[in-house]
Structure 1
Amino acid sequence: MTPAVVSSLGELLDHVRRQSPLVQCITNYVAMNYAANTLLAAGASPAMVHAAEEAGEFAGVASAVTINIGTLSSPWLDGMRAAAKVANENGKPWVLDPVAHFATAFRRHAVQELLAFKPTVIRGNASEIMALAGDASTGRGVDSGDSVERAETSALVLARRTSSVVAVTGAVDFVTDGHRSARIAGGSEWMPKVTAMGCALTGLVGAFVAVAPATPWEATISALACFSVAGTQAARESSGPGSFAWRFIDTLAALNGDGLQAQAQVTPG
């Protein structure tokens, strides 16, 4: 175990399991099933509610909202705006996953609209975070062409500009609120080979900030550490991305607070 930056890593996982927060996940249809199973394995209650006719109303009863623009369309964007608006107005935590936001004008405009509703956490890969901060990146579609290390300065700038916690995820994750930073190691080389892993992580961050809305930096670190520990454990028995995908869900379901606290690899940034 590395020295703990957040002493309550395991405690927050136990809170998620006890409270089973209702997390509204507006995510892409490629990711829905795996993201929902990830939240269930962690003890949260996922709700894939995205229609504009009900997304805002549902955000009023959800414990947290997560928005992923992976398979963006105008009707889905209407639902995203409605949910983010209600979350912002009611002081509820919400998480933005700006998938490939730099790829098209439609995505760029959509993300700027959503940023106006002040997300609690922004989670993305290095290229997404760099581009969102206004820096040049080498991303292609949903794939990052940049290292997490190269995106750290961009993340700090973006966090200060938006007053959001910014999480850059990759081989070693980086999380900052613009003042404090931490790195989270672990996981598996199979993770980038499984569709929806990043999208599922966004949902998990939503579950953790739901039970700790006053401390989103700590909650985000805890969620990423939980994901990394489960990935490290699942990889030991996996022979490829297919077996890793289901073993990850089983491993996450079996992880408890003590196990997370003991195995998390979190260091100051």
Structure 2
Amino acid sequence: MSLDQTPYFDYDDEEKESEGKEMGFLDHLEELRWHLIRAAGAIVFFMVFAFVFIEDIYEGIILAPSKTDFWTYRMLCKLGDLVHAPGLCVEKLQFSLMSREVSGQFVMAFTSAAIIGLVFAFPYVFWEIWRFVVPGLKPSERKSARGAVFYVTLLFFSGVFFGYYVVSPMAINFLVNFQISKSIENQFDIGSYISLLATLTLACGVAFQLPVAIFVLTKIGVIGPQFMRTYRKHAVVVILIVAAVITPSPDVTSQILVAFPLYILYEVSIFISAREEKRKLAEEKLAL
């Protein structure tokens, strides 16, 4: 994977023509303001759409990991049958969801719609920010960063899906079935459930941006492939710590499931960093 391939959401001809024009500080602020307004408009659009269909979204998406017929639990049961490990099958989730405030369900519907609006508008929001940044880059920098919106979006949604289908159900299964006494019933507030689900999915979406972050750091000379190879063992420790933070449960299986893809992304980041460093050295030789 490289950010110097596959152009995606490239800026338009009007922006290309204005590259060489000098803009004042207030002009930059005005341009940024309109980019942010359009980005906010996209978030509001998806937020309203989600709010209109909030009941279907709750039943089919948000509350799905709280039910034993969720896709992940069914796959675990099939895996358990395949490897003769019935313990993998999730047969019950011992908890119920409650709303203890008068405005609780309305507030959670509004909050959930806002989160969904932000997630689905993310590609457009990043594109608007990218359009503001691109004119200030050098031609060589624009060329090497071409396709940035595509890769950032791909990594973000990969992380979100991983958090939703892997991390969240594992964490929910562990936390709701953990009991210090059988006389204590698990009755969780809907806000607590939504907070857990949103935190895990969005945290994974952000964590999956590691290759992009390494590309940028290599580009500005802060980090390089040799550094990453030298401190690979230290990185593994950091990844395990991050996995422990992302997964609120002390379940080792959940933490390993999070740490493994992060380590793969770390190795991919070394490859990306090496390619970028090689390209920079080639450009420096040509400049001499």
Q: TM-score, normalised by structure 1?
A: 0.24
Which one has the largest radius of gyration? 2
Higher-helix-fraction structure: 2
